[in-house]
Structure 1
């Protein structure tokens, strides 16, 4: 083929006609949530994560990857402080650009990307400031309602903390793009899952940090993607994200009941990714080769092929057979994909 899959990925994101439709699927590598947060402080854990992601590439030979941030989920200032009241959010402060959370992360992702030898492109998972604080309360405190209490009680304190986190995530993302070889970040966002929090509150106190982060990273390299997370059935108002400064959009099409084609129209024709349900109930997890390939062809026939990447709604189950992803790529690439 004239182009390798790396170039095809960039062309797809640019909405150019391509001779292939690319597919990529991903899952976490650490089942221990605390290791997801604290793993970066143990080089053995980092080495294990890198090796697992390299081996995933060797087994599956994906068309592109979304590299997981296992071991590096949360900013150190979010991890190391206690937050009893919203006033405590002032403890969240920027870290040095050479903090191990940044330098070890960049080195780990570079080792993964180098393993691809330029054959494919990749995105890297980054949790938004909102997502970071929410995960801190959920994982380390087992209190999923805490972030909503804080937001109701002191929204400006939340906004100020998120602005600080966005600054450091800009530093991290810039270093990753410039030094590790990724094409862009895959920013995980999610709207508050609490009816007491109004859209206006989210727009005023949460959204600015996400837009600031994405705008700055787009200036570094404009191949970044937003993931509007619908994990475990969470719902979002997709239209609230249409003005985010990103190259491409990914959402849970099964949860939101919005197809790739419908999303492409909603997001002004920009590139989109998704298509397959990511749960154990979906055809991707439990289907036969014939069923999975039939669904692949249906997705492309119904949604078109230009500016489309095929993936799951979100992370797939740990024990999914790697062959399933290969079957999708095989079916997609076997089609006449001219536009």
Structure 2
């Protein structure tokens, strides 16, 4: 099987000739965008030999001015479409990467979900606006003026739908990695998530499917209420990935929550053997994961993106061992 055939077989519940793998990391700032990012991606793919080539996305919804209230957010977030610079730049970079990457591999583009994309304009207002602060601002603004905030977030979601569609129909990717946030119990209540986040999540995931791509649902951060990702999410997801050690939820429990869906994961991303081990330890852990979970429906990967300084030889060892199983 080619890498792409192997991945699709697992996604579709068929027997594959080996366990495919997918790993990614955030490249340093000087290699995050433009031609430098193209070269960084290609080098990573060559050094790790993953079955899935995942295009990262540092072309985020930009800052459109200082936002201090829901009114500011509503007034300053514009209509986002194909002509928006950050979407055009991401598509251009993606096409350059795919032109030179392994054409036998399965390809995937990163898309930041509505919760993350909604805070990016706030994060970029200045160095003093850190992650926790802007997450709290988002929650406070929604509680303060739900109507204005949701109107502005709808414009962002519509723009993410454009990116999702163009990833598949224009750039030629096989799939979209939808990085969801919002299920952490620290921020939204269950009812708030259901009313504010879920409908826009589903809209964007549906755009992936409507464009003909496979949808990978990534459920990020710690302290998650995984029950928020219910059957409505499952029907639109082809593959699920979450922080096994953060949520917490085991691979087996995840398989029960998302029956019939392929699972991506198994290894910790910022600790464990990929950080503290050697190649022998990595290979042993991969064998253990596959033995416990089984080959069917498994794509080996990590909870989330690896650290920028990750030893790529250890990633290569994991990929090779999985391919032998």
Question: How far apart are 1:192 and its partner, in Å?
Answer: 5.6
Q: Using the alignment, how far apart are the partners of 2:144 and 2:252 within structure 1?
A: 40
Of residues 20, 39, 59 in structure 2, which corresponds to 1:22? 20
The equivalent of 2:71 in structure 1 is 87
Look up the SS of the partner of 1:275 in the other structure.
Answer: strand
What SS is found at the alignment partner of 1:253? coil
Contact 2:110–2:176, Cα closer than 8 Å, also in 1 = yes
Give the TM-score, by structure 2 length.
0.91
1:183–1:224 contact (8 Å) kept in structure 2: no
Are the aligned partners of 1:23 and 1:62 in contact in 2 as well (CA < 8 Å)?
yes
Can you list the C-alpha shifts for 1:3-62, whole angstroms capped at 9, x where unaligned? Answer: 200111111111211111011211111348xx96xxxxxxxx411111111111122222
Matched with 1:42 is: none
- The C-alpha deviation readout for 1:294-317, integer Å capped at 9, x for no partner, is 110111111111111111111111
Residue matched to 2:210: 219
Q: Is the 8 A contact 2:242 2:303 kept in 1?
A: yes
Which of 51, 55, 58 is the aligned partner of 2:39?
51
Partner of 2:60: 73
Shift in Å, 1:181: 2.2
Unaligned runs of 5+ in 2: none
Aligned to 1:111: 96
* Paired position in structure 1 for 2:48: 60
Q: In the TM superposition, what whole-angstrom CA distance separates every residue of 1:235-293 from its partner, at most 9, and x where no partner exists?
A: 211221132112111100111232222211111221110111111x3111121111111
Contact 1:156–1:205 (Cα < 8 Å) also in 2: no
How many residues align? The count is 315
Deviation at 1:130, TM superposition (A): 1.4
State the partner residue of 2:241: 250
CA contact (8 A) 2:266 2:289 kept: yes
2-side partners of 1:115 and 1:239: how far apart? Answer: 40
Is the 1:293–1:331 Cα contact (8 Å) retained in structure 2? yes
When normalised by structure 1's length, the TM-score is 0.87
Q: Does 1:123 align with 2:108?
A: yes
How big is the shift at 1:95?
A: 3.0
